[in-house]
Chains A and B, each alone.
Chain A
Amino acid sequence: MPAQTALPEPLRARPVPRPGRWVSGAIVLVLAAMVVNALVTNPNFRWDTVWLYLRDVNVVRGVGWTLVLTFGSMAIAVVLAVLLAVMRRSDNPVMRWVAWCYIWFFRGTPIYTQLVFWGLISVLYPRLSLGVPFGPELLVFDTRTVITAFWAALVGLALNEAAYLAEIVRAGLGSVDAGQAEAARALGMPESKILRRIVLPQAMRVIVPPTGNETISMLKTTSLVVAVPFTLEITYATSAIGSRTFEPIPLLIVAALWYLLITSVLMVGQHYLERYYGRGVAGGPGGRRRNRRPSRQAAIRAAGTTRDDPFAEVTP
């Protein structure tokens, strides 16, 4: 029997009636409209005040400081986290133990408490000195001038975040098939290059989504630096205006709207990062397992090395 190549008339059929979908959709839409209505029409929210202070110079400056704290602490935290994750995988038991203790301590105590302590560091240690333990001092600093409120806030946030990120990086490194490192080893690549060139880039696919999550979380956590106290970021800036003008609610909304806007921008950035690190993975970025096989299948077919039989299951 000759193979049929011309596509016949595609099947046309009436869909299954699903009245439940329409009803549930309508109910949810009505509920959503009620929420929007309650927000927009309530005069207590003072939307005119919100709009006015949204562009206030102190508020915008607060946004700037919040961004500096967020990205600064995340940058430090990422570097530290990779270091900690590598230490946890080290053959050296001292390295493993120190990394474990670091993560145990910084995840195990509240960030607020940690920030208070960083704020108090100049009281606890008025002088910072570099030297031999129990021996002579080589370099001496006055703590107050070296660690200002800003640096205390930045370092406090970074050290705490590094502990969480270290676990994310460790999970990412563990997700890369051991065969990748082995193949690189067989080619004569040194271990440091295997990590940097082969394992880490592939681990990024697993590391980026939760790290994006952590960044968004960090954006809001920066409001806790009032514990240091550092008082220039957006939450403190807006609440200061709010208590001065006796309008706390509209200014809370101002801060919330700014957080929402920055989060939206971050989500876009995360999308592109995920796409970049998802390259080479069948099923595209995110690589949902469900999608994986068909696209692998399609790729193999497209490669044209297999027999031209649409019913052949090709397992790569």
Chain B
Amino acid sequence: MSDVQATPMVEARGVHKVFGHGAEGLHVLRGVDLAVPRGSVTVILGPSGSGKSTLLRCLNELEQITAGSVHVDGELLGYREDAQGVLHRLHPTRIAAQRSRIGMVFQRFHLFGHLTALENVMEAPVQVRGLSKRAARTRALELLDRVGLTDRVEHYPAQLSGGQQQRVAIARALAMDPELMLFDEPTSALDPELVGEVLTVMQDLAASGMTMVVVTHEIGFAREVADHVVFMDDGAIVEQGPPAEVLDRPSEPRLQEFLAHVL
């Protein structure tokens, strides 16, 4: 039991990502090691182009890594290693099954435009888990209530504000009962007055014990909610540690410069 507790929820080792081929390839991640303990909140900071979104997308196979390995809940992502140590690419349905346990929230929400808020949340449990419509509906209503949208369930995404759309997106991800939630700049596309409602939902989620990896520019959120802050620059982790340490006593000049710009 203690062994299971000790395995981190996410363990990335020596992750490299190159977009394109050969000399023209863009080397976006250059050997990233990251461990995310269960029930913890990790915030990834960094200037744009530092590879933080790419790293997040590698954690649920939306991007295929070029080198290294990613384990989620002790399971190697995207591959199977046989007794001889030879890697076999997993069948797409297996990868889909792995992804179904990892929730993801996007910067631009990506709610299904032809479905209402309720249908958006019901879609994956019914189509992937094979849940009955009735059960999925009950659960979806619970989740929409949790993100404070009880009165918006029949609205289409285009009829919702950005903040409401993002809260539906969070409910949609939670409907699959993920053990890990990834947030890719969830508030960057929002108007300033709508940021708070999304951060509040995320804060509640963190308090409930969800393991979360959050790419964001919200330093305040990092300071209050994060257990662990990671600063990335140029495709590598430059500095990491508890927020109080990383944000208040940064040792790296690049991080000092970044914080001076953001704060």
Chain A contacts to B: CB under 8 angstroms: 177, 179-180, 182-191, 193, 197-198, 201-202, 277, 279-282, 296, 299-300, 302-303, 305-307, 314-316
Check B158 against A185 for contact (C-beta < 8 Å).
no
In the complex, are the beta carbons of A314 and B191 less than 8 A apart? yes
Interface string of B165-178 (1 = CB under 8 A from A): 10001001100100
* Secondary structure class of chain A's binding surface, majority of residues: helix
Interface window among B24-32, B38-46, B102-110, B246-254: B102-110
A296-B155 Cα distance, complex, nearest whole Å: 13
Chain B residues near A191 (CB, 8 Å)?
92
Do residues A188 and B128 form an inter-chain contact, with CB atoms below 8 A? Answer: yes
User: A193 and B127: CB pair below 8 A?
Assistant: yes
Measured CB to CB, the nearest residue on chain B to A278 is: B114
Chain A residues whose CB sits within 8 angstroms of the CB of B106 once the complex forms: 179, 182-183, 186
A189, A315, A316: which has the most chain B beta carbons within 10 Å?
A: A316
A187 touching B164 by the CB < 8 A rule? Answer: no
Q: Is B211 an interface residue (CB 8 A)?
A: no
By a beta-carbon cutoff of 8 Å, the part of chain B in contact with chain A is: 60, 62, 92-93, 96-104, 106, 108, 110-116, 123-124, 127-128, 152, 155-165, 169, 172-173, 176, 191, 193-194, 197
A188 near B96 (CB under 8 angstroms)? yes
- Whether the Cβ atoms of B114 and A303 lie closer than 8 Å is no
Residues of chain B lying within 8 A (CB to CB) of residue A280: 113-116, 156-158
Inside 8 A of B110's CB, which chain A residues have their CB?
177, 179-180, 182-183
A305 to B176, CA, bound (A): 27
Chain B residues with Cβ below 8 Å from A185 are: 62, 96, 99
Of the A-B pairs whose beta carbons lie under 8 Å apart in the complex, a sample of 23, sorted by A's number, is: A179-B106, A179-B108, A182-B106, A183-B106, A183-B169, A184-B123, A185-B96, A186-B60, A186-B99, A186-B103, A186-B173, A187-B176, A188-B99, A190-B128, A193-B127, A193-B128, A279-B114, A281-B113, A281-B156, A282-B158, A282-B159, A300-B161, A306-B161
